[in-house]
Amino acid sequence: MKTVKFGGSSLASAEQVRKVCDIITADTARRLVVVSAPGKRTNSDTKVTDLLIAAAEAGLTHRDGSRELQRVVERFADIATGLGMAAESVDPIRADLQQRLDADISDKGLYMDSMKAAGEANSARLVADYLRSQGVDAHCIDPAVAGMILSDEPGNARVLRQAYGRLRSLRERPGISIFPGFFGYSESGRLVTFPRGGSDITGAILAAAVDAELYENFTDVDSVFVANPKLINNPRAVAEITYREMRELSYAGFSVFHDEALEPVFHAGIPVAVKNTNNPAAPGTRIVLERRVGDVPVVGIAGTGGFCSIYVSRYLMNREVGFGRRLLQLFEDEAIPFEHTPSGIDNISVIVREDIFDHATEQRVLRRIRTELLADEVSVQRGLALVMVVGEGMRHTVGLAARATAAFARARVNLEMINQGSSEVSMMFGVKDHEVDAAVIALYAEFFG
Ligand code: ASP
């Protein structure tokens, strides 16, 4: 049994939905299918989820959201008519959307999440209806009934352990199950969504729950590329990559796959295939537990901005028991997750995401570091980007750091930080935000040029 997920661009129009249905029926093992909401048809188009969010924002502020809602209805109607379905097939979708928009707004998180989930819920309904109209035994699954149980965190939910046991029974369902991505329910029955792009997570949870032989993730590119094709003309394709490598690259801005999505399949050891709905014959990229490292030690290069670094120094820090713990405790008190902590003998930097470290928080944290930890020096550097060179082969290859730093020097990119992660599958470089693209281009030229 394979679990298959289709992203928003694969469901954006009738033509795309036809391709999706052809792919589903081409392999009898594709019995559990996760769908996203219709995404963009062209670059300037708007995703259905974004329209739903706009409608919800109107609803929450007592404005009229019916225009946005009408656009969503039209998107579904376009798909249905393009598929040759009867005009009435859109009636239940329209009614469902209206009901969500008219719902009580006292619980803002619930209201917003229920609107956001409408894209996937109705997309799944439409695909199942269409498949049935073609004589295929397909059913739309209700995540509440199937047991997609999530933590009660609107817009940021996580799967709860007990969900896996309940979802396992999907294995036994006859025919093809069409499962809406992106949302589930809390233990008390409240609808909650994953972070944006979360249908990938739904697919991975289901693949792990039913112990699928493969998790196929269909998107709109032939494969994962070694570096961002927006920066590098015609970059090399990645045929095979390990979960660890993919995780590190997703972290640094690889946008093919939601980074949280790999966890369930990684733990279950289920291989993932990234494939193209528009070119299903292309081999795509396989994500596996282990791979044979060839001549090229590096598998990918990525960079992303939006970080800041809090530098703390104190003479003889290395002799002071508990300094690191007390420093990180300050961040915990402020509910700020830290990303990395590169350190020296008498200094340590805490790297955090800039968007959760506003000016007021910065003032508070800095004051506490000075007064409670008696630091000699504390400073903050904003506008930091992290660039990662990733590859399982790095561990056994001498001189990679030298090649990377030489490439930076040639491109006149100034290095703010180097962090050779203990994972040994990546090297991380801190550069200024505005130099991140130049850094990725320089590294690509060095390792793949
Ligand atoms: N439709 C949701 C979003 O746009 C989830 C997804 O497509 O994965 O974020």
Q: pLDDT digit string (tens) for 256-278?
A: 778 788 899 999 999 999 999 99
- Whether 393 has a pLDDT exceeding 90, the answer reads no
Distances (CA, A) of 244 to 90, 170, 303: 43, 28, 17
- Between CA 224 and CA 263, with CA 220 as vertex, the angle to 5 degrees is 55
Indicate which residue's Cα is closest to atom 6 of ligand 1: 197
**What is the structure's pLDDT at 141?**
98
Would you state the structure tokens that stand for residue 323, as one six-digit string? 């300094």
DSSP code of residue 413: P
Distance 192 CA to ligand 1 centre (A): 13
Q: In the predicted model, what is the mean pLDDT of residues 50-55?
A: 98
Report the distance separating Cα 435 and Cα 420, nearest Å: 20
Least confident among 98-102, 183-187, 318-322: 318-322
Q: What is the pLDDT of residues 103-156, one digit of tens each?
A: 999 999 999 999 999 999 999 999 999 999 999 999 999 999 999 999 999 999
pLDDT band at 420 (very low <50, low <70, confident <90, very high): confident
**What is the structure's pLDDT at 37?**
98
Q: Which CATH class is domain 300-448?
A: alpha beta
Instruction: Give the residue, out of 179, 199, 202, 277, with the most ligand 1 atoms within 8 A of its beta carbon, to mutate for a pocket test.
Output: 199
Percent of the chain with pLDDT strictly greater than 70: 99
Residue 264 Cβ inside 6 Å of ligand 1? The answer reads: no
Distance 213 CA to ligand 1 centre (A): 25
- Whether 403 has a pLDDT exceeding 70, the answer reads yes
Confirm if 85 and 133 have CB atoms less than 8 A apart.
yes
Report the distance separating Cα 288 and Cα 217, nearest Å: 14
Residue 204 Cβ inside 6 Å of ligand 1? The answer reads: no
CA 7 to ligand 1: nearest atom: 7
Instruction: List the 30-35 sheet strands across, edge first.
Output: 138-140, 176-180, 30-35, 2-6, 214-219, 272-276, 285-288, 240-242
**What is the structure's pLDDT at 424?**
79
Distance 197 CA to ligand 1 centre (A): 4
Distance 303 CA to ligand 1 centre (A): 23
- Whether 17 has a pLDDT exceeding 90, the answer reads yes
Would you state the structure tokens that stand for residue 29, as one six-digit string? 């093992």
pLDDT band at 297 (very low <50, low <70, confident <90, very high): confident
DSSP code of residue 171: G
CA 258 to ligand 1: nearest atom: 8
Residue 297 Cβ inside 6 Å of ligand 1? The answer reads: no
Percent of the chain with pLDDT strictly greater than 90: 87
**Which residues of the chain form CATH 3.30.2130.10?**
300-448
**Which residues of the chain form CATH 3.40.1160.10?**
2-288
Contacts with 16 (C-beta within 8 Å, 6 or more apart), sequence order: 9, 10, 277
Instruction: Give the residue, out of 33, 35, 36, 48, with the most ligand 1 atoms within 8 A of its beta carbon, to mutate for a pocket test.
Output: 36
Residue 40 Cβ inside 6 Å of ligand 1? The answer reads: no
Torsion of the alpha carbons at 72, 258, 6 and 168, rounded to the nearest 10: -110
- Whether 421 has a pLDDT exceeding 90, the answer reads no
**What is the structure's pLDDT at 422?**
63
Report the distance separating Cα 134 and Cα 138, nearest Å: 10
CB count in 10 Å sphere of residue 7: 25
Indicate which residue's Cα is closest to atom 2 of ligand 1: 197
Report the distance separating Cα 280 and Cα 278, nearest Å: 6
**What is the structure's pLDDT at 423?**
66
Report the distance separating Cα 80 and Cα 140, nearest Å: 16
Indicate which residue's Cα is closest to atom 5 of ligand 1: 197
pLDDT band at 78 (very low <50, low <70, confident <90, very high): very high
Contacts with 216 (C-beta within 8 Å, 6 or more apart), sequence order: 2, 3, 4, 5, 30, 272, 273, 275
**pLDDT: which is higher, 396 or 371:** 371
Distances (CA, A) of 410 to 62, 443, 446: 56, 10, 10
Would you state the structure tokens that stand for residue 28, as one six-digit string? 């009898």
pLDDT band at 203 (very low <50, low <70, confident <90, very high): very high
Least confident among 72-81, 391-400, 424-433: 391-400
CA 194 to ligand 1: nearest atom: 5
Distance 208 CA to ligand 1 centre (A): 20
Architecture in CATH for domain 2-288: 3-Layer(aba) Sandwich (3.40)
Residue 154 Cβ inside 6 Å of ligand 1? The answer reads: no
**What is the structure's pLDDT at 385?**
96
Distance 52 CA to ligand 1 centre (A): 11
Distances (CA, A) of 199 to 45, 57, 222: 20, 22, 19
Residue 277 Cβ inside 6 Å of ligand 1? The answer reads: no
Would you state the structure tokens that stand for residue 397, as one six-digit string? 């290859």
pLDDT band at 192 (very low <50, low <70, confident <90, very high): very high
